[in-house]
Amino acid sequence: MFFEWQDSYLTGVSRLDGHHLKLVALINNLYTDALGETDTGRKQPLIGKTLEELIDYSYYHFAAEEDLMLTYEYPGYMPHKEEHDQFKLEVKNMIRKHQAGNLAWVLPILSYLKDWLIIHVVNTDKQYEAYFSKRDIAEF
Protein backbone atom coordinates (compact mmCIF):
# COMPACT_ATOMS: atom_id res chain seq x y z
CA MET A 1 0.00 0.00 0.00
CA PHE A 2 1.35 3.38 -1.02
CA PHE A 3 -0.81 5.68 1.13
CA GLU A 4 -2.03 4.54 4.53
CA TRP A 5 -4.86 6.46 6.17
CA GLN A 6 -4.36 7.57 9.78
CA ASP A 7 -7.08 8.51 12.25
CA SER A 8 -5.20 11.75 12.90
CA TYR A 9 -6.49 12.88 9.49
CA LEU A 10 -10.15 12.74 10.61
CA THR A 11 -11.97 16.08 10.57
CA GLY A 12 -15.05 15.08 12.56
CA VAL A 13 -17.37 15.54 9.57
CA SER A 14 -18.15 11.94 8.65
CA ARG A 15 -19.21 12.54 5.05
CA LEU A 16 -16.05 14.52 4.28
CA ASP A 17 -13.88 12.00 6.12
CA GLY A 18 -15.45 9.32 3.93
CA HIS A 19 -14.53 11.37 0.87
CA HIS A 20 -10.95 11.60 2.10
CA LEU A 21 -10.82 7.83 2.56
CA LYS A 22 -12.10 7.34 -1.00
CA LEU A 23 -9.42 9.72 -2.32
CA VAL A 24 -6.75 7.73 -0.48
CA ALA A 25 -8.11 4.52 -2.04
CA LEU A 26 -8.02 6.09 -5.51
CA ILE A 27 -4.43 7.24 -5.02
CA ASN A 28 -3.55 3.71 -3.97
CA ASN A 29 -5.34 2.35 -7.06
CA LEU A 30 -3.31 4.70 -9.25
CA TYR A 31 -0.14 3.44 -7.57
CA THR A 32 -1.18 -0.17 -8.23
CA ASP A 33 -1.96 0.65 -11.85
CA ALA A 34 1.42 2.34 -12.31
CA LEU A 35 3.54 -0.37 -10.72
CA GLY A 36 1.41 -3.48 -11.06
CA GLU A 37 0.91 -3.48 -14.81
CA THR A 38 4.01 -4.22 -16.87
CA ASP A 39 2.42 -4.04 -20.32
CA THR A 40 2.80 -0.40 -21.38
CA GLY A 41 -0.04 -0.75 -23.86
CA ARG A 42 -2.41 -1.73 -21.06
CA LYS A 43 -0.86 0.51 -18.43
CA GLN A 44 -1.62 3.80 -20.19
CA PRO A 45 -5.43 3.30 -20.43
CA LEU A 46 -5.56 1.77 -16.95
CA ILE A 47 -3.81 4.76 -15.44
CA GLY A 48 -6.01 7.09 -17.48
CA LYS A 49 -9.21 5.51 -16.18
CA THR A 50 -8.07 5.66 -12.54
CA LEU A 51 -6.74 9.19 -12.94
CA GLU A 52 -10.05 10.31 -14.41
CA GLU A 53 -11.95 8.73 -11.51
CA LEU A 54 -9.60 10.37 -9.01
CA ILE A 55 -10.03 13.78 -10.63
CA ASP A 56 -13.81 13.46 -10.88
CA TYR A 57 -14.06 12.38 -7.26
CA SER A 58 -11.78 15.15 -6.00
CA TYR A 59 -13.96 17.72 -7.81
CA TYR A 60 -17.08 16.14 -6.28
CA HIS A 61 -15.46 16.29 -2.84
CA PHE A 62 -14.37 19.91 -3.26
CA ALA A 63 -17.89 20.94 -4.28
CA ALA A 64 -19.42 19.18 -1.26
CA GLU A 65 -16.88 20.71 1.10
CA GLU A 66 -17.29 24.19 -0.35
CA ASP A 67 -21.11 23.92 -0.24
CA LEU A 68 -20.92 23.01 3.43
CA MET A 69 -18.64 25.96 4.12
CA LEU A 70 -20.95 28.36 2.32
CA THR A 71 -24.07 26.96 3.99
CA TYR A 72 -22.59 27.41 7.47
CA GLU A 73 -20.71 30.61 6.61
CA TYR A 74 -17.31 29.16 7.41
CA PRO A 75 -14.92 32.14 7.73
CA GLY A 76 -12.00 30.30 6.11
CA TYR A 77 -13.90 29.55 2.92
CA MET A 78 -11.93 31.71 0.46
CA PRO A 79 -8.39 30.52 1.26
CA HIS A 80 -9.69 26.97 1.42
CA LYS A 81 -11.32 27.30 -2.00
CA GLU A 82 -8.11 28.82 -3.37
CA GLU A 83 -6.24 25.65 -2.36
CA HIS A 84 -8.83 23.58 -4.19
CA ASP A 85 -8.50 25.80 -7.26
CA GLN A 86 -4.71 25.46 -7.22
CA PHE A 87 -5.05 21.70 -7.03
CA LYS A 88 -7.38 21.78 -10.04
CA LEU A 89 -4.70 23.61 -12.05
CA GLU A 90 -2.18 20.93 -11.15
CA VAL A 91 -4.66 18.27 -12.18
CA LYS A 92 -5.00 19.86 -15.61
CA ASN A 93 -1.24 19.49 -16.01
CA MET A 94 -1.51 15.82 -14.99
CA ILE A 95 -4.10 15.22 -17.67
CA ARG A 96 -1.91 16.85 -20.33
CA LYS A 97 1.06 14.70 -19.38
CA HIS A 98 -1.05 11.58 -19.43
CA GLN A 99 -2.56 12.43 -22.80
CA ALA A 100 0.93 12.99 -24.17
CA GLY A 101 1.68 9.37 -23.29
CA ASN A 102 4.49 10.18 -20.89
CA LEU A 103 4.47 7.59 -18.09
CA ALA A 104 7.55 9.03 -16.39
CA TRP A 105 5.33 11.53 -14.57
CA VAL A 106 3.36 8.86 -12.67
CA LEU A 107 5.60 8.31 -9.63
CA PRO A 108 6.29 12.01 -9.00
CA ILE A 109 2.60 12.79 -9.34
CA LEU A 110 1.69 10.02 -6.90
CA SER A 111 3.97 11.64 -4.35
CA TYR A 112 2.40 15.01 -5.12
CA LEU A 113 -1.14 13.66 -4.67
CA LYS A 114 -0.30 11.93 -1.40
CA ASP A 115 1.59 14.90 0.03
CA TRP A 116 -1.04 17.40 -1.12
CA LEU A 117 -3.89 15.44 0.44
CA ILE A 118 -2.11 14.93 3.76
CA ILE A 119 -1.04 18.57 4.00
CA HIS A 120 -4.45 19.85 2.90
CA VAL A 121 -6.37 17.66 5.34
CA VAL A 122 -4.05 18.20 8.30
CA ASN A 123 -3.36 21.92 7.81
CA THR A 124 -6.51 23.19 6.09
CA ASP A 125 -9.44 20.81 6.54
CA LYS A 126 -8.69 20.26 10.23
CA GLN A 127 -9.20 24.01 10.70
CA TYR A 128 -12.94 23.58 10.16
CA GLU A 129 -13.22 20.72 12.64
CA ALA A 130 -13.99 22.89 15.68
CA TYR A 131 -16.16 25.29 13.68
CA PHE A 132 -18.41 22.54 12.33
CA SER A 133 -18.49 20.53 15.56
CA LYS A 134 -19.95 23.59 17.35
CA ARG A 135 -22.73 23.57 14.76
CA ASP A 136 -23.39 19.88 15.35
CA ILE A 137 -22.98 18.82 11.74
CA ALA A 138 -20.65 15.86 12.19
CA GLU A 139 -23.07 13.65 10.29
CA PHE A 140 -23.22 15.86 7.19
pLDDT tens per residue across span 22-81: 999 999 999 999 888 788 788 888 888 998 899 999 999 999 999 999 999 999 999 999
The domain covering 12-134 belongs, at the CATH homologous superfamily level, to Hemerythrin-like (1.20.120.50)
Cα separation values, 1 from 25, 29, 77, 104, 119, Å: 10, 9, 33, 20, 19
Distance CA 116, CA 80 (A): 13
Burial 112-124 (b: 16+ CB within 10 A, else e): ebbebbbebbeeb
Residue 23's H or E segment, with its range, is helix 14-36
